[in-house]
Amino acid sequence: MNPIEEKKQDKKTKFDKKLSFTMGEEIEFDSEPEEIDEEPEEEINESFRDFFFSTVKRAFTDEYTRCLNYEDAITVLSEAYILMYQQIDSLHHAPSAQWWVRKNRDTAYNSCVRRKKLSNIYESEEGESFPEISDDDVYELWKRIKKVGSINTFVLMPKPMGSLKTIDSVKHYIRSISPQRAITIVTVLGISVFVALLGAVFYAKVLPLFVDKDAASYLEEKEIYLEPEFFEQFDMTTVDVDIDQDLMNEIMDDAAVRAEEKIAEDEREAELLAESQAQASEPESTTSVNLKDYEFFSRDPKDNVTTTTTTTVKFIAQEVEGEGSRNTAANAPEYTGDQWLDKEVKNVVTLLLKDSMSDSEKLGALYEYICKYGSYGTCDREFENYIQRAKYFFKYRTGTSQEYAAAYYALCSAVGYKCKIVNGYFVVEKGSKTYYYEHSWCKITLNGIEYYFDPEADSNQNGSKVDKHFFFVTRDNSRWKLFTQTHKWAEE
């Protein structure tokens, strides 16, 4: 064979070897590594820390078979993983991660032997099983490697046999940048950041001056009327509760009479108190009730916010602990502590409910009573807790969703149900505008399952009609889809 043909044959041989290496076939090495299991490997896409914990136990078992003692195996592994971190880019050229780990362990072992860091004083007896490294020792080894090797644990591992073209091209481009071009790049980046900040300031401060302020406004509570067509898009069943309407009307009439008597009594007490304070030369500081604080305003139907089929209605809410949100023990009645309010609550519960009723029947009767007893209205009084809101509702037969929820909470607690009041926002999206209205409803837990009740949303302005769209709602019934679309918590 002439020299030219020999040269061609050498090139062909090198090409065949390179091809077989790329295709993952068997490769010849000067020093053959130990055979390893040909198990299919998952694609490497983890940090160096994760790579350590996923490979160290197998590496320890293999190393113990060579060192024949625990201390030397740990020493070699410590050197090997530091070496792997220092030469992490070489994993790109390795046929597999196992092969790469084995190669670095061999290098670390030879280095430890040369430096006489291994004792090799124990010999394995025939048939002896090799121990596994404990989880505690794994973490101690990791701490040792981090400390000695100054390792950035979140560096991502390259993929075996991966391509370096992209990385190399980026490195080459960075090295080839001239000082003048570097200055240009930095200047452009600086200008871009400045423009972005300027745009953010314009969006947050200047743009709102030219946009309708009602496009996204947080407002005080307002009754929301939903057209019947809004509910037609939901495939759901409602809960029908068989209630003696005549009995309920009689109970409500009696309660209305007592409420009027209470109002008249409070007026007389307020007048007597005002006269005594006027006559006293040094009036003592007392707490009085100003009847003007109880003035309320009924909303005219024309002011209702009506929705169309294109209107999206949502709730953004957050359950709050404290007054009006405590849990009660099942079947253990709990009252408010207000003498007049507790008397009204006991009267409703005693006359309206029967022991033979189921939970849904009891809660449904109380729900319908609250919806029919009052009508939507606002007042200019500040309430300190749910007790004041519930008393206001029973006394004046009006209130916002917060008073509705407080009244329903008081009735349910008196029966023994575990109840919470949820405060949030009623969000109405109408066209490009978004309105956030304060709103409240209740959550009751039965046998570990949470049920939701929104009496104000299911009653109309004068209390003449009661719906059951937001009554006894849980994940397991058909009303949950409607509820999740219209009720959202703030943390969601």
Kindly report the number of other CB atoms within 10 A of residue 130's CB atom.
14
Q: For residue 164, name the pLDDT band (cuts at 50, 70, 90).
A: very low
Residues 334-360: tens digit of each pLDDT: 999 999 999 999 999 999 998 889 998
Q: Which pLDDT does position 388 carry in this prediction? A: 93
Confidence (pLDDT) at 460: 72
User: 2-40 pLDDT, tens per residue?
Assistant: 555 565 566 455 445 443 433 344 434 344 444 444 444
Regarding predicted confidence, which is higher, 446 or 174?
A: 446
**Which residues are within 8 A (CB) of 230 and not within 5 positions of it... i.e. 6 or more apart?**
307, 309, 311, 313
Q: Which of 395, 390, 364, 351 is nearest to 473 (CA)?
A: 364
| Predicted local distance difference test score (pLDDT) of residue 149 | 79
One-letter-per-residue 3-state SS of 66-133: HHCCHHHHHHHHHHHHHHHHHCHHHHHHCCCHHHHHHHHHHHHHHHHHHCCCCCCCCCCCCCCCCCCC
Calculate mean pLDDT across residues 474-483. Answer: 82
pLDDT digits (tens, 9 = 90+) for 60-84: 988 888 888 888 889 999 999 999 9
User: Between these two residues, 177 and 155, which has the higher pLDDT value?
Assistant: 155
Cα(389)–Cα(400) distance, integer angstroms = 9
What's the gap between Cα 305 and its chain centre?
31
Average confidence score pLDDT of the chain: 75
pLDDT for 102 equals 92
For 396-419, what is each residue's pLDDT tens digit?
998 888 999 999 999 999 999 999
pLDDT at 297: 35
pLDDT tens, residue by residue, 203-218: 777 766 655 544 456 6
Give the DSSP per-residue string, 361-397: HHHHHHHHHHHHH-EEEEESPPPSSHHHHHHHHHHHS
Q: Which residue has the higher pLDDT, 341 or 480?
A: 341
Among 48-52, 158-162, 377-381, name the one with the lowest average pLDDT: 158-162
The predicted structure's pLDDT at residue 208 = 60
pLDDT at 221: 66
Q: Across residues 111-123, what is the average pLDDT?
A: 76
Q: Report the pLDDT value the prediction gives residue 3, as an integer from 0 to 100.
A: 55
What per-residue confidence (pLDDT) applies to 316?
53
Q: Can you tell me the mean pLDDT for 239-262?
A: 85
pLDDT value of residue 230? 74
| Residue range 284-300, pLDDT digits in tens | 544 433 333 333 333 34
For the segment 217-225, the average pLDDT, to the nearest whole number, is 66
Amino acid 36: pLDDT: 42
pLDDT over 70 at 121, yes or no: no
C-alpha dist (Å) from residue 302 to 226, 231, 299, 306: 13, 21, 8, 9
Whether 475 contacts 439, CB under 8 Å = no
Q: What is the pLDDT of residue 299?
A: 37
Q: What is the mean pLDDT of residues 189-216?
A: 75
Sheet holding 375-379, edge to edge: 296-298, 375-379, 398-399
Q: Which two tokens stand for residue 167?
A: 């990385």
Q: Tell which wins on pLDDT, 243 or 41.
A: 243
Q: What is the DSSP string of 10-64?
A: HHHHHHHHHHHHHTT-----SSPPPP---PPPPPP-SBHHHHHHHHHHHHHHHHH
Pair type for strands 296-298 and 375-379? antiparallel
CA distance 160 to 395: 77
Output the pLDDT for position 313. Answer: 45
List the beta bridge partners of residue 428: 313, 435
Query: Where is mean pLDDT largest: 187-201, 221-235, 472-486?
Result: 187-201
Confidence (pLDDT) at 369: 93
